[in-house]
Amino acid sequence: MIPSISIPQNFTVVTQPSYTYAMDLENQVIRGYVDNLEAMKQAIYKILSTSRFLELLYSWNYGAELDGLLGRSKDYIYSELRIRIKEALLADDRIMDVHTFSFSSYRNTISVTFIAETIVGDITATKEVKI
How much is the pTM?
A: 0.85
Q: What length is written for the chain?
A: 131
Residue 16 makes CB contacts below 8 A (sequence gap 6+) with: none
What is the C-alpha separation between 87 and 69, in angstroms, rounded? Answer: 16
pLDDT of residue 14: 74
Q: Strand order in 121-130's β-sheet?
A: 95-106, 109-118, 121-130
* Amino acid at position 69, single letter: L
Q: What is the pLDDT along the chain (131 residues), one digit of tens a residue?
A: 677 777 777 777 777 778 899 999 889 999 999 999 999 999 999 999 999 888 888 888 899 999 888 889 999 999 999 999 999 999 999 999 999 999 999 988 999 999 999 999 999 999 999 98
